[in-house]
Chain A
Amino acid sequence: MAAQKKASKSNASAEDLKAYYYDMLLIRRFEEKAGQLYGMGLIGGFCHLYIGQEAIVVGLEAAAEEGDKRITTYRDHGHMLACGMSPNGVMAELTGREDGYSRGKGGSMHMFSKEKHFYGGHGIVGANVPLGAGLAFSDKYRGNDRVTFTYFGDGAANQGQVYETFNMAALWELPVIFVIENNNYAMGTAQKRSTSSPELYKRGEAFGIPGEAVDGMDVLAVKEAGEKAVAHCRSGKGPYILEMKTYRYRGHSMSDPAKYRTREEVQKIREEKDCIEHVRDLLLTGKHATEDDLKSVDKEIKKIVNASAEFAKDSPEPDSAELWTDVYADAVPQKA
């Protein structure tokens, strides 16, 4: 609990702490519900849960400003909720229904929100990294000071296109923050079995990109590092790498038998490092909230998540005519 003790000295306000608690708990309860709906056959295909990693997106969203962009891989439900997309719309996409963010045509891995500047949701490991740099390119081209958060995992960190992107992002000083969510397992392959040099935050050194390792289980540490990275990017100094040391409690996807790690390993992290328990502890010991206060937050979130599940079950399947729509855009898109 060392990291937690250290963080508790932080000067985060009660309001901030409560907001982090709320946002992280919403993601966790939402994901648990998604897992349940998957088990019931209401969600199909692949479903990658974010449970355990919630502090990363919540901490970085706290460091973001309106207009900043974000793009991620397929473990994307947490990112969507953290940037303000509606639980109903996300859950209805998971069930493949008309009211989902992609009208049921994208699924768990392919959701987008232009309004919230969320550019997906991408299913090909590593492919979203140049896309994120391209989004940053568009902001630099237009001369504004927006930044793009480009999330990927320790698995994607071994893809060649990541380094092609690092090179161009540094060369062209693109305002992109590469967030490596290192949960130690690329699907079922432990980092030590896949990666010759495990310090991923140093992967930008050859390109002159500064990087730092962050305790990704500590929302306050994440936010602090995020603010530093954002300031760097916004001031025109080019890209920045944040390696978030984190852990996923659930399997890679729903059909993961988890034979590559022990139950004890998972349990130990859960008991000692859990990001939500950490903030809960700060709230209670700092006398910012009572057990009863937090219980009512839990209740409120449970209500929202249950409502999203009901919404996602009740929303109709897309009309069969939807099969043929959105293959081509017929009008020139509005300028951003």
Chain B
Amino acid sequence: MPTEILMPALSPTMEEGTLAKWLVSEGDTVSSGDILAEIETDKATMEFEAVDEGTIGKILIEAGTEGVKVNTAIAVLLEEGESGDDISDAKTDAPKSEPKEAPKSDAPKAAPAKAKAPEPDRSPDWPEGTETKKQTVREALNAAMAEEMRNDDDVFIMGEEVAEYQGAYKITQNLLEEFSARRVIDTPITEHGFAGIGVGAAFGGLRPIVEFMTWNFAMQAIDQIINSAAKTLYMSGGQMGCPIVFRGPNGAAARVGAQHSQDYAAWYAHIPGLKVVQPYSASDAKGLLKTAIRDPNPVIFLENEILYGKSFDVPVMDDFTVPFGKARVWREGEDVTIVSFGIGMTYALEAAEKLAEDGISAEVIDLRTLRPIDYDTVIASVMKTNRCVTVEEGFPVASIGNHLSAVIMERAFDYLDAPVINCLGKDVPMPYAANLEKLALTSTKEVLEAVHKVTYR
């Protein structure tokens, strides 16, 4: 049966084109690779090659014709033993282009007015009566890694100065001694490269912990984190996961200037396929890091240099973990909800203390994980207090606070007695001067002002 030669699509966006010139005539013999015609697309003039062998039986569209739709028959090719008499039988092999139904969105349905308050899981992180001990965030992170490395030989840590130097911030202290250079690996200063090697090792079935000396340096590696680590499970139809933890200090430290003082919470929380953790306390640092190392997905673990030396109660348990997506309510209150995470919690808790002295009862929520976010705990609280202030050190535009404001508006609009206020880092690169740096960050004072504003007192 003769084959129809169809107007080809020659670019991802081409729908029609001009058949500029025929380079063959009726009766010509052609073989695979011969140029048949020149076709003008929306981008360029392209040569159109023959795929099959045969004789040009008939030219259906004249040279110079404009607006020829893709998949229109433009000529008929006769195979060996066929003649022009067979042409009427030619059938086009064009695809049916029925409009496909658009996929339905799985976005949460708008809640009806005065929606029922969600009932989030408020169970304690450890059983009542468990012995606790004071531990710094640094010690807690170190213990989490050591425990998981003892449990699973596939877990290893790589990064700059993690081994012999004992960690630029001493988070990996003594790990080299216990686990040897096979599993505690000093890398050259080459973030893009070792992040990629870590992701490849995770594709190969290992469970790497990649330490960035600070998250500022991870910008050199962000392509590997997002394009390789976060997207491959989806792109592979679920075949190829990437169980990896990227961790290190994030956000402003003290007087280190613009290039070393950025909070990346909102950046990574933006990306589907990643999980994002930003702990405040030592028990969360420990329990969440252990969960992160066991998670089969890429986890962004955002620590804070200023918090490393801070001590908290940590339960004395054989295997203490904290689940992702469960916020912690540090203070219960009636008058306002303050939502924060990471070092922002220091301002939130300090403000709540002072507010209590003024007779304002604040509920303080530590999100702990930013992907997934425990929206229910926030919404249930806002439905109770009718007011909300968010606190974080990141830049204002597209911040976590902005996102929470939108979710609260969607899910608890009728419960709000005041607009949500976001306390944020200022919209400037971090200055070096001590007084300016202080101004660039948010503060307990700003949180107090925001709370007074939303409570009208």
Interface residue ranges, A against B (CB under 8 Å): 32-33, 35-36, 38-42, 44-46, 69, 71, 100-106, 110-114, 119-124, 127, 129-139, 141, 160-161, 164-165, 167-168, 171, 249, 254-255, 257-259, 263, 270, 313, 317, 320, 323-333, 335-336
Contacts and interface: CB of A to CB of B under 8 A. Distances in A.
A206 B323 CA distance: 47
A69 B296 CA distance: 21
B394 interface: no
Given A36-B51, A168-B193, A324-B106, A134 B203 contact: yes
B330 interface: no
Interface stretch (B94-102, B123-131, B395-403, B431-439): B94-102
Nearest to B196: A130
Given A40-B95, A103-B237, A329-B297, A165 B103 contact: no
A135 B203 contact: yes
B204 A135 contact: yes
Given A127-B223, A167-B188, A135 B200 contact: yes
Q: Top 8 nearest A-B pairs by Cβ distance? A: A134-B200, A130-B196, A164-B193, A138-B204, A39-B8, A336-B205, A255-B11, A103-B237
A129 B196 CA distance: 8
27 contacts: A32-B51, A39-B70, A44-B12, A100-B237, A101-B239, A106-B236, A110-B232, A111-B236, A119-B240, A129-B196, A130-B195, A130-B197, A130-B200, A131-B224, A138-B201, A138-B203, A141-B156, A167-B188, A168-B188, A254-B10, A263-B47, A320-B103, A326-B234, A326-B236, A328-B233, A329-B243, A332-B294
Given A40-B8, A329-B233, A160 B43 contact: no
Contacts of A325: 238
B9 A40 contact: yes
Interface in B1-49: 6, 8-12, 14, 32-33, 35, 41, 43-47
Contacts of B296: 329-333
B235 interface: yes
Contacts of A130: 192-197, 199-200, 224
B103 A323 contact: yes
B45 A69 contact: no
B239 A165 contact: no
Contact of B228 (A35, A111, A127): A127
B190 A317 contact: no
Given A46-B12, A141-B156, A167-B190, A105 B237 contact: yes
B189 to A, nearest CB: 10
B417 interface: no
B125 to A, nearest CB: 22
Nearest to B202: A134
A168 B187 contact: yes
Contacts of B239: 101-102, 112-114
Given A133-B197, A326-B238, A168 B206 contact: no
B200 to A, nearest CB: 2
Interface string B399-428: 000000000000000000000000000000
Contacts of A132: 200
B227 interface: yes
B455 interface: no
A160 B97 CA distance: 44
Contacts of A41: 9, 70-71, 95, 97
Among A41, A111, A254, A323: residue with most chain B CB under 10 A: A41
B205 A327 contact: no
B274 to A, nearest CB: 9
B236 A110 contact: yes
Contacts of B11: 254-255
Nearest to B45: A257
Given A129-B196, A134-B203, A313 B95 contact: yes
Contacts of B47: 257-258, 263
A122 B228 contact: yes
Nearest to B191: A164
Contacts of A259: 44
Nearest to A103: B237
Contact of B188 (A36, A171, A335): A171
A76 B238 CA distance: 19
B64 interface: no
B235 A110 contact: yes
Contact of B193 (A113, A167, A257): A167
A139 B237 contact: no
Given A40-B6, A41-B97, A138 B237 contact: no
A133 B51 contact: no
B197 A165 contact: yes
Contacts of A171: 188
B241 interface: yes
Contacts of B205: 138, 333, 335-336
Nearest to B9: A41
Contacts of A263: 35, 47
Contacts of B237: 100-106, 326
B235 to A, nearest CB: 4
Given A133-B197, A165-B196, A39 B204 contact: no
Contacts of A326: 233-234, 236-238
A301 B74 CA distance: 28
Nearest to B100: A317
Nearest to B15: A41
Among B97, B101, B156, B204: residue with most chain A CB under 10 A: B204
A315 to B, nearest CB: 13
Nearest to B47: A258
Given A130-B196, A255-B44, 4 more contacts: A45-B12, A130-B193, A255-B46, A332-B243
A327 B234 contact: yes
Contact of A168 (B45, B182, B197): B197
A134 B197 contact: yes
A134 B9 contact: no
Contacts of B273: 327-328
Among A106, A111, A325: residue with most chain B CB under 10 A: A106
Contacts of A324: 106
B93 interface: yes
A120 B233 contact: no
